[in-house]
Amino acid sequence: MYIKAATAISPQHTVDGRLFTEGVTAWTGNKCYAAEPSYIEMIPRALLRRMNKAVRMGVGAGLMTLQGQGTQDGIVLGTANGGIDDSFKFLRQILEYDEGTLTPTNFVQSTPNAVAGSLAMMTKNTGYNITHVNYGLAFEAALLDAMMLFEEGKVQSLLLGGLEEISDHNFNMDLQAGWFKTDEVNDTELFAFQTAGTVKGEGATMFVIDDDPEHALAQVLAVDQMNFATQLTLQDRVAQILAEHAVSREEVALMVGMNGDARHDGWYHEFLDAFDQQTVYSFKNLVGEYPTATAFAVWLATELFAREEVPQEMVLRGSHTPPKFLLIYNHYKAKQHSLMLLRNPRV
């Protein structure tokens, strides 16, 4: 399974490549909002007006990725919450108007499958269509789903992606549950601050994946998920995955989902203790934490594979040269763990 095209709408200037030409955009506080492109050229105004941020970012990133890529056999997405802000808007309507006459737009646009549905409708794609919503494993489930579709011989090319939006209500829920920092942090200090909680991010990342290796940006070799992980089972699984694909530990660079939460970053530190020479990359200091942030990690991998020089902020340990293989380890709220192994087709 090969990645042929990739687009990320994120808190960094990732759409126009300025992340690499001008460097990382600094942020402060505990929310990293996406730097959205203009959608006017892509999405008809009448549709755009009704779209919430998640739908807008997802559809926008999807359409950008599809440009010049021919037709796809299906759309496979991951999002924990989709257009959750519209859900709250609809809840507010219900309460304010005491279940009176309400407008359906918020309701219809709030369903997480609205992005895959809109993309199917706008590109006339009647193929396989699904939306996985299992929190921090939603994108990983999408990736596995896609992998099985290729194995089954059902598809040759797919649109695959992950997205999430920051909604005030959702942020407030997780804030009250202690998941976000309340002290003033910024991008350079995220990992240094020894406090509980992280910062909330958002974005939409889309890929065209194909069974044809020509002009591929990356090859997806493996995706795996774990509940009730321990360091021991994690390392076992890593060894298994590497062995299955005949990859030696020395050939692998690592990317970890460290997010500055002093309570749970230990998972990453301990994980990295098992590797001493390998270069290690980070991504949540660029885009914040959100359930499908690993989709952004995969996008970043395609860039690391292609670029000789990258901003220092992405390199957590060692020095950058385009790696031959990249192993991404992430956990969400220390419960849902995932591993993804990618190959650089250029090396």
Partner 1 sequence: MIKVVVTGRGAISAIGNNVAENRQRLITGQTGLSKASKYFTSKFTESHPFGEIKMSDEEMLSSLAVPEMKGLTRTDLIAFKAFEEAIQEAGLDSDTLSHPRTGFISGSTVGGMVLTDQVFEDGSNRAQRTAFLESYDYCSHTLRIVEQYRIHGFTNTINTACSSSANAIMMGARLIRSGRADRVIVGGADSLAKFTVNGFNSLQILSEDLCRPFDANRKGLNLGEAAAYLVLESEACAKGKKIYGTVSGYGNSNDAYHASALSEDAVGVIACMQAALDHAGLEPAGIDYINAHGTATENNDLTEITGLGKLFGEHLPPFSSTKSFTGHTLAAAGALEAVYSLMSMEHGELYASLNCEQPISPLDELPIAAYQEQQEINAVLSNSFGFGGNCTSLVFKQHL
The site for partner 1 (CB under 8 A) is made up of 75, 80-82, 87-88, 90-95, 98-99, 101-104, 107-109, 111-114, 116-118, 120-121, 123-135, 137-138, 141, 144-145, 148, 151-152, 168-170, 172-177, 225-228, 335
Q: Which of 76, 212, 80, 214 is nearest to 146 (CA)?
A: 76
Residue 91 or residue 347: which is nearer to partner 1 going by CB? 91
C-beta closer to partner 1: residue 65 or 109: 109
Nearest approach in angstroms of CB 316 to partner 1 is 29
**Cα–Cα dist 39/278, whole Å:** 40
**Whole-angstrom distance, CA of residue 302 vs CA of residue 298:** 7
- Rounded CA-CA distance 39/41 in Å is 6
Structural contact between residues 129 and 75, judged by C-beta atoms closer than 8 angstroms: yes
Residue 35 burial by Cβ neighbours in a 10 Å radius (0-12, 13-18, 19+): middle
Q: What's the min distance (Å) between Cβ of 147 and partner 1?
A: 9
32/84 with CB nearer partner 1: 84
CB of 336 to partner 1, least distance (A): 8
CB of 130 to partner 1, least distance (A): 6
Query: Least distance to partner 1 from the beta carbon of 263, Å?
Result: 15
Instruction: Using alpha carbons, select from 347, 332, 341, 344 the residue that is nearest to residue 147.
Output: 341
**What does the block give as tokens for 232?**
């021991």
- 5 versus 149: smaller Cβ distance to partner 1: 149
The amino acid sitting at 8 is A
User: Please, which residue, 141 or 217, has the CB nearer to partner 1?
Assistant: 141
Taking the complex as a whole, the smallest distance from the CB of residue 72 to partner 1 amounts, in Å, to 11
The two three-digit tokens of residue 181, written as one number:
């920092």
Q: How far apart are CA 111 and CA 176, in angstroms?
A: 24
The Cα 164–Cα 345 span in angstroms is 29
Question: What CA–CA distance (Å, rounded) separates 305 from 323?
Answer: 6
CB 93 → partner 1: shortest distance, Å? 8
What residue spans of 97-167 are helical by DSSP H? 105-110, 114-123, 138-151
- Is 19 or 206 the residue whose CB approaches partner 1 more closely? 206
Rg for the chain (alpha carbons), in Å?
19
Closer residue to partner 1, CB minimum distance, 80 or 217: 80
At 3, which helix (H) or strand (E)? strand 2-9
What are the CA-CA distances from residue 96 to residues 61, 88, 100, 171, 274 (Å)?
A: 34, 12, 9, 22, 55
Question: Of 25 and 123, which has the nearer Cβ to partner 1?
Answer: 123
Q: Which is nearer to partner 1, 41 or 152 (CB)?
A: 152
CB-CB contact of 341 with 327 (8 Å): yes
Burial 115-124 (b: 16+ CB within 10 A, else e): bbbbbbebbe
Q: How far is the CB of 225 from partner 1 (least distance, A)?
A: 7
Q: Work out how close the CB of 66 gets to partner 1 at its nearest, in angstroms, rounded to a whole number.
A: 14
CB of 102 to partner 1, least distance (A): 4
Nearest to 327 by CA among 250, 228, 233, 262: 250
Q: Which is nearer to partner 1, 75 or 217 (CB)?
A: 75
